[in-house]
Amino acid sequence: MTQQGYAECLAAQGGRLVEIANTAERTPDDWQRQIPECPGWDLEGLIGHCAGVWTFVGSSIAAGGPVDRDSIIQPDSTLAQWHADALDRLVAELTARQPSDPLWSFNPRDQTVGFWLRRMANEATMHRWDAESAFDGTPARIDPGAAVDGIDELFDFFLPVRQPNVFAGNGETIHLHANDADGEWVVTRTPDGIEVERAHRKSDVAARGPAQDLLLFVWGRLGPERLETFGKDELLTEWQQLVRI
């Protein structure tokens, strides 16, 4: 996605979370709705998490560096209002700057505003899906292009930077193949962690399906049973057990 696309995605996906939070404010029992694919998390906890993230990142951007996480508390307002206000501030802080502007981030490889545009867009997309899954029916589809980018971000940042050894191994390979978007990855397990190529190659196991389902699998929301698989399925089960973002 382009940087403009990330900004639009954040505004749209975050806006949907605002709608859901406002609905829960009017129907308080909704706050206790469980997030099916995130055991132990209810809607209140999810929206509180998002409000805290928007506040932390927005405040850190304004300050030019990370603020004290202990300072992030709900103000004297409803949870829904805190969430909406924090999102508005975050979007304003990000869009007031150029994506290439230098800025502290969690990622030593990318210390720019662009990192946060991408990270926050993907955060909002995943948690919008989480929030909608708490209600009856099927969550709205994640755009295939956004899903591909979410998978790329996992391989670009989360695993190599935040969890470099989580899926170490001895040369086993997984081929992920989106059937509705331009997205293919070959994941090779090494003793030091994973190596990822954007490639099509025979692997120990292949998993094919819509980009959304691949994203939900690699992010631990759904199991491999939603995918068409060939080969050593136990590698996919091991991924599900070990890779928890």
- Locate CATH 3.30.1050.10 in the chain: 165-242
- CATH fold of 3-133: Four Helix Bundle (Hemerythrin (Met), subunit A) (1.20.120)
pLDDT, residue 244, reads 81
Q: What does the angle CA 8 – CA 9 – CA 15 come to, to the nearest 5 degrees?
A: 90
Confidence of residue 1 (pLDDT cuts 50, 70, 90): confident
pLDDT, residue 2, reads 87
What would the pLDDT profile of 118-129 be if each residue is shown by its tens digit? 999 999 999 999
Residue type, 210: P
pLDDT, residue 229, reads 98
What would the pLDDT profile of 132-158 be if each residue is shown by its tens digit? 999 987 899 999 999 999 999 999 999
Instruction: Give the C-alpha separation, 98 to 37, whole Å.
Output: 36
Contacts (Cβ under 8 Å, ≥6 apart) of 68: none
Specify whether the CB–CB gap between 226 and 209 falls below 8 A. Answer: yes
Contacts (Cβ under 8 Å, ≥6 apart) of 198: 184, 185
Confidence of residue 245 (pLDDT cuts 50, 70, 90): confident
Can you tell me the mean pLDDT for 197-218?
Answer: 97
What would the pLDDT profile of 23-52 be if each residue is shown by its tens digit? 999 999 999 999 999 999 999 999 999 999
- CATH fold of 165-242: Nonspecific Lipid-transfer Protein; Chain A (3.30.1050)
Confidence of residue 193 (pLDDT cuts 50, 70, 90): very high
Instruction: Give the C-alpha separation, 113 to 93, whole Å.
Output: 10
pLDDT, residue 175, reads 98
pLDDT, residue 136, reads 81
Instruction: Give the C-alpha separation, 66 to 196, whole Å.
Output: 30
Share of the chain above pLDDT 90, in %: 96
Structure tokens at 110: 């990318």
Q: What is the pTM of this model?
A: 0.95
Share of the chain above pLDDT 70, in %: 100
Handedness of CA 154, 8, 104, 130 (dihedral sign): negative
- Locate CATH 1.20.120.450 in the chain: 3-133
Which contacts of 39-47 are long-range, i.e. CB under 8 A and separated by 24 or more positions? 41/130, 42/134, 43/131, 43/134, 44/79, 46/127, 46/130, 46/131, 46/134, 47/17, 47/20, 47/21, 47/79, 47/80, 47/83, 47/131
- Please provide the average confidence, as pLDDT, over all residues in the chain: 96
